Amino acid sequence: MVARRVLKYAILGLLRKDDKSGYDMTSDFKQAIGQFWSAKHSQIYTELKKLLEEELISSYIELSGEKLEKKMYTLTEKGKEDLHTWLLTQDDHLETEKDVFALRLYFLKDIPSADLLALFENQLNLRTDKLNMLQEQFAYYFGEENPAEDLDADELGHYFVLTKALSREENYIHWLMESMDIIRQRQLGE
């Protein structure tokens, strides 16, 4: 069984502290949590409508300025319960972590060896940019030091997500560089 209705719980989770609009959630998915789940505004608005019908959230209108309406959503008691049940759910298996670069690489015999390093370099650039972005985020929220002891429970979730994303990217880059060395070695021997 595949993890079901993840977006539903991502949205309920985003509402656990503050009321938010669909637009706010769209922005959240561009921040830290977007490293591990994301959705476009079209999908978010559709899901919000469904969650309202299911009475897991309720809504009210807030004005920004004179006319512009923000539809704010709040967790209902039912929504809180559903979220808390889900938070304690243990996964019974791991999903395939899809990665188009690795897939392409599996077929590398059909990639001319002159083009292979260029593909790696492109991936290295993308990953390096992402790592830099994450390091900036980390420094902004937590400073340059490793502050795990001083954090409150709320910041700790953010801390874990950022350290997870950082270590993922560092590891990816490390593997890319090792693999590029292997390719260069082989090309010398050609």
Site residues (CB under 7 A) for DNA? 1-2, 4-7, 21-24, 26-27, 38-43, 45-46, 48-49, 64-71, 96, 98
Q: Which does 1 bind (CB under 5 to 8 A by kind): a second copy, DNA, none?
A: DNA
Q: What's the full length of the chain, in residues?
A: 190
Instruction: Report in angstroms how near the CB of residue 137 gets to DNA at its nearest.
Output: 17
Pairing of strands 20-21, 57-64: unpaired
- To which residue do tokens 């299911």 refer? 54
Instruction: Report in angstroms how near the CB of residue 56 gets to DNA at its nearest.
Output: 14
Identify which of residues 49 and 78 has a Cβ nearer to DNA in the complex: 49
Rounded Cα distance between 1 and 22, Å, is 29
Residue 111 φ then ψ, to 5°: -105, 125
Identify which of residues 38 and 135 has a Cβ nearer to DNA in the complex: 38
Cα angle for residues 123, 181, 108 (degrees, 5° grid) = 60
Q: Which does 54 bind (CB under 5 to 8 A by kind): DNA, a second copy, none?
A: none
Q: Show the tokens assigned to 189.
A: 């021997």
By CB atoms closer than 10 A (0-12, 13-18, 19+), residue 130 is middle
Identify which of residues 111 and 139 has a Cβ nearer to a second copy in the complex: 111
Q: Which does 43 bind (CB under 5 to 8 A by kind): a second copy, DNA, none?
A: DNA
Work out whether the CA dihedral 65, 67, 70, 72 comes out positive or negative.
Answer: positive
Identify which of residues 21 and 169 has a Cβ nearer to a second copy in the complex: 169
Q: Which does 40 bind (CB under 5 to 8 A by kind): a second copy, DNA, none?
A: DNA
Work out whether the CA dihedral 168, 169, 173, 176 comes out positive or negative.
Answer: positive
Task: State the DSSP H helix or E strand holding residue 124, giving kind and residue range, or none if neither.
Answer: helix 113-142
Identify which of residues 96 and 185 has a Cβ nearer to DNA in the complex: 96
Instruction: Report in angstroms how near the CB of residue 2 gets to DNA at its nearest.
Output: 4
Q: Which does 78 bind (CB under 5 to 8 A by kind): DNA, a second copy, none?
A: none
Instruction: Report in angstroms how near the CB of residue 173 gets to DNA at its nearest.
Output: 24
